[in-house]
């Protein structure tokens, strides 16, 4: 098989999605599958839908176009505020988009009119992450301006947590966010179909003992793909953490001394030379490096330690018998490592566990009464 490669167990992604759908369902919260970490891979997106996700979301229009080219017709939302230069592409490929700038929304409205359609707008609110979002005090005014534009329809509001700040939302923040939904509807009428309360970092709150109020959607990527809660990194009970495996090939094995000191052997000429030591460590070198993935985000095989990496070499130490040249070494990845590896041009993706009997074309997930995001 080709190396390096990512082995993807689609059955585990389906099961992770299904687990979250079943746990959030009684709270009337739908799951939107986020595909940005896997570059909009159609088979992985399909596994999310098969698991019960009510729609898909991505941050890049190129990924959305990849999904559309694969024949996926269900709802796809752009969750990064659209670039002004891509307004026409967004309208043509996405039912809805998350927005923070009225200038961009106006461009989307004009593009939708040209396209003979109505584009859904979800307003992103700044609730403390300090990345993207409209200030809560400005939200009513922006919402009214959207209501007055032909070509777009105000579909909902959304919040984001833990992406920049690294902090999970508090109960107080979530209550304030729900209050904003009520405030907007008191001004604009009962129009908000989507109240999206965040990403995988919101799960501890959503699955806690408190009432979830107006929130009816979560945008979940890391929790589905890796089975972990992003802030703590802890496994979510009952979830698979090994749906993705990165495989690299050994290209050299040896025993080399540790870094050697440089000694001055001739003070008169100031000649330098490397002084070797007797201690040596067993090492293997793999054909993979910083250009392929986020090396610190890899979990080393049991008994192995990371010595270092360059752009295209990964050096690992091991006290045990080293594998032969040409053999393979397997790694688990965190979210950053997965994201980089999926985008690396030289890493192939091998699909496993693809037992889906559903057609590729989806109009909705299993629980269509939830908000589609």
Whether the link from the prior residue into 156 is cis, omega within 30° of 0, is no
Per-residue model confidence (pLDDT) at position 318? 84
Q: What is the pLDDT of residues 346-366, one digit of tens each?
A: 999 999 997 554 433 333 443
Per-residue model confidence (pLDDT) at position 55? 97
Specify the CATH number of the domain 244-352.
2.40.30
User: What residues does CATH 3.20.20.10 cover in the chain?
Assistant: 9-226
Q: What is the pLDDT of residues 75-122, one digit of tens each?
A: 999 999 999 999 999 999 999 999 999 999 999 999 999 999 999 999
The closest of 129, 133, 149 to 79, measured between CA atoms, is 133
Q: Which residues contact 221 (CB under 8 A, 6 or more apart)?
A: 33, 34, 35, 36, 37, 199, 200
Angle CA(63)–CA(67)–CA(71) in degrees, nearest 5?
Answer: 160
Per-residue model confidence (pLDDT) at position 282? 87
Cβ density class 303-321: b for 16+ within 10 Å, e for less: ebeebebeeeebbbbbeee
Per-residue model confidence (pLDDT) at position 319? 72
- The domain defined by 9-226 folds into TIM Barrel (3.20.20)
CA atoms within 13 A on the CB side of 370: 28
- How confident is the chain (373 residues) per 10-residue block, as mean pLDDT? 96 98 98 98 98 98 98 96 98 98 98 98 95 96 98 98 91 97 96 97 95 97 97 94 98 76 58 50 93 97 93 90 92 98 98 64 35 32
**Helices and strands in the chain, H and E counts:** 10, 18
Residue 52, by phi and psi: left (phi above 0), alpha (psi -120 to 50) or beta? left
The closest of 158, 168, 295, 300 to 230, measured between CA atoms, is 168
Q: What is the CA radius of gyration of the chain?
A: 24
Residue given tokens 């070797």 in the structure block: 276
User: What residues does CATH 2.40.30 cover in the chain?
Assistant: 244-352
């Amino acid at each position: 098989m080709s190396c390096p490669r990512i082995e993807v167990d689609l059955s585990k992604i389906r099961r992770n999605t299904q687990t979250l759908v079943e746990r959030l369902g009684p709270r009337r919260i739908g799951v939107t599958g986020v595909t940005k970490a896997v570059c909009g891979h159609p088979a992985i997106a399909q596994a999310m839908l098969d698991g019960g996700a009510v729609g898909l979301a991505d941050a890049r229009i190129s990924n959305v176009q990849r999904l559309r080219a694969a024949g996926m017709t269900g709802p796809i939302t752009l969750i990064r505020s659209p670039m002004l230069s891509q307004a026409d592409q967004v309208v043509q490929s996405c039912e809805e988009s998350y927005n923070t700038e009225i200038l961009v929304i106006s461009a989307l409205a004009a593009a939708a009119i040209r396209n003979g359609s109505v584009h859904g707008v979800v307003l992103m609110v700044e609730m403390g992450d300090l990345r993207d979002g409209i200030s809560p005090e400005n939200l009513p005014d922006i919402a009214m301006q959207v209501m007055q534009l032909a070509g777009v329809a105000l579909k909902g509001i959304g919040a984001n947590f833990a992406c920049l700040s690294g902090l999970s939302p508090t109960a107080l923040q979530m209550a304030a966010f729900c209050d904003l939904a009520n405030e907007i509807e008191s001004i604009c009428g009962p129009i908000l179909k989507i109240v999206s309360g965040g990403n995988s970092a919101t799960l501890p709150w959503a699955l806690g003992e408190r009432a979830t109020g107006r929130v009816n959607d979560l945008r979940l990527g890391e929790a589905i793909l890796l089975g972990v809660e992003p802030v703590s990194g802890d496994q979510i009970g009952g979830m698979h953490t090994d749906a993705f495996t990165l495989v690299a090939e050994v290209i050299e094995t040896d025993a080399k001394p540790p870094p050697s000191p440089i000694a001055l052997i001739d003070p008169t000429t100031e000649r330098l030379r490397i002084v070797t030591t007797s201690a040596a460590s067993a090492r293997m070198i793999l054909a993979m490096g910083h250009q392929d993935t986020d090396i610190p985000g890899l979990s080393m095989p049991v008994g192995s330690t990371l010595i270092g990496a360059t752009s295209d070499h990964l050096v690992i130490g091991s006290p045990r018998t080293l594998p032969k040249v040409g053999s393979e070494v397997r790694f688990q990845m965190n979210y950053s490592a997965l994201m980089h590896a999926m985008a690396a041009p030289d890493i192939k993706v091998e699909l496993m566990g693809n037992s889906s009997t559903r057609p590729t074309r989806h109009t909705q997930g299993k629980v269509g009464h939830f908000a589609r995001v």
